[in-house]
């Protein structure tokens, strides 16, 4: 059994009072928050509130940049000039840093969102662009990407720490990539099934893919999405199941 695991969640993505209420329930249940910083969702006010909450609860405050596409929620790859994408990433990371500075904390991690996440995990040019921007804007931050993908492996070449991620609430294909959300099994709902899946991932580094093949996955952090139905209950059951089996929850 491993000593512990990091749990992360993407927050600040739903506007209004209900969105803030959801964030408030989820934040104390994780060890790292990925805060939307204006690309696909989010605002400076919500970032500042999340940074304050992270300081209060001792949770890592992370930036969650995306393609600048609020209408599409950052889920479609945009064909941007390299300079335009760089400018968008710089703007988002600076916004996250502004909120962190106001709260007296630092941005501890950068995890891309949606289509940008897939781009930087699979394409070297995109990964290198993101890593160069993080090195410039947030040199002390770790960079999070899918376990087994390009991004966390390249991070060290930029003097950054790579964090390998797996997903509690999402199905994967035989290559470990997330299934498109429209497919059966892409989003996992049963808390007990998901909790046991996470325990096996943490303790045995094993993950069953959609075709039934058993994958070896070495992960430093596990993500639960805030927009997964009943995400609060899902996270509570995962935490209880891990703690029951002696797994310590700790920031990576």
* pLDDT tens-digit series, residues 75-101: 999 999 999 999 999 999 999 999 999
SS3 content of the chain, % helix, strand, coil (to 5): 45, 20, 40
pLDDT, the chain, mean = 94
Residues 6+ away with beta carbon under 8 Å from 151: 120, 121, 127, 130, 131, 143, 144, 145, 162
Q: Is 114 helix (H, G, I), strand (E, B) or coil?
A: helix
% of the chain with per-residue pLDDT over 90: 85
How many other CB atoms are there within 10 angstroms of residue 48's CB atom?
18
Q: If you average pLDDT over residues 148-167, what whole number do you get?
A: 96
Rounded to two decimals, what is the model's pTM?
0.94
Q: Provide the strand spans (E) within the chain.
A: 4-11, 32-36, 60-64, 109-110, 142-146, 162-167, 206-208, 214-216, 221-223, 248-249
Map out the domains of the chain with their CATH numbers. 4-249 (3.20.20.370)
What is the distance between the alpha carbons of residues 138 and 147, in angstroms, rounded to a whole number? 22
* pLDDT tens-digit series, residues 37-88: 999 999 999 999 999 999 999 999 999 999 999 999 999 999 999 999 999 9
* pLDDT tens-digit series, residues 169-228: 888 888 888 888 888 888 888 999 999 999 999 999 998 888 788 899 999 999 999 988
Cβ 195 vs Cβ 244: under 8 Å? no
pLDDT at 102: 98
Q: Is 46 helix (H, G, I), strand (E, B) or coil?
A: helix
pLDDT at 189: 87
How many other CB atoms are there within 10 angstroms of residue 133's CB atom?
21
Q: Is 167 helix (H, G, I), strand (E, B) or coil?
A: strand
Round to the nearest angstrom and report the end-to-end CA distance of the chain: 17
Angle between helices 44-57 and 82-103 (to 10 degrees): 50
User: How many whole angstroms from its chain centre is CA 136?
Assistant: 21
What is the distance between the alpha carbons of residues 113 and 126, in angstroms, rounded to a whole number? 13
* pLDDT tens-digit series, residues 94-118: 999 999 999 999 999 999 999 999 9
């Amino acid at each position: 059994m491993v000593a512990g695991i990091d749990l992360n969640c993407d927050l600040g993505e739903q506007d209004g009072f209900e969105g803030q209420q959801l964030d408030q329930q989820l934040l104390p249940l994780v060890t790292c928050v990925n805060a939307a910083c204006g690309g696909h969702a989010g605002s400076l006010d919500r970032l500042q509130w999340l940074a304050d909450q992270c300081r209060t609860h001792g949770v890592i405050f992370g930036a969650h940049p995306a393609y600048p596409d609020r209408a599409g929620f950052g889920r479609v790859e945009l064909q941007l000039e390299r300079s335009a994408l760089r400018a968008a990433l710089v703007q988002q990371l600076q916004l996250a840093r502004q909120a962190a500075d106001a709260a007296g904390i630092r941005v501890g991690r950068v995890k891309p969102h949606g289509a940008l996440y897939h781009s930087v995990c699979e394409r070297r040019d995109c990964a290198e662009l993101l890593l160069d921007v993080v090195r410039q804007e947030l040199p002390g931050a770790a960079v999070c990407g899918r376990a087994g993908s390009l991004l966390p492996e390249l991070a060290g070449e930029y003097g950054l720490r790579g964090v390998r991620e797996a997903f509690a609430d999402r199905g994967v294909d035989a290559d470990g990539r997330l299934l498109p959300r429209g497919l059966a099994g892409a989003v996992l709902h049963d808390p007990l099934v998901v909790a046991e899946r996470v325990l096996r991932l943490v303790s045995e580094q094993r993950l069953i893919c959609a075709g039934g093949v058993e994958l070896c996955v070495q992960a430093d952090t596990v993500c639960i999405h805030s927009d997964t139905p009943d995400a609060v209950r899902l996270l509570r059951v995962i935490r209880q199941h891990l703690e029951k089996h002696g797994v310590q929850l700790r920031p990576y």
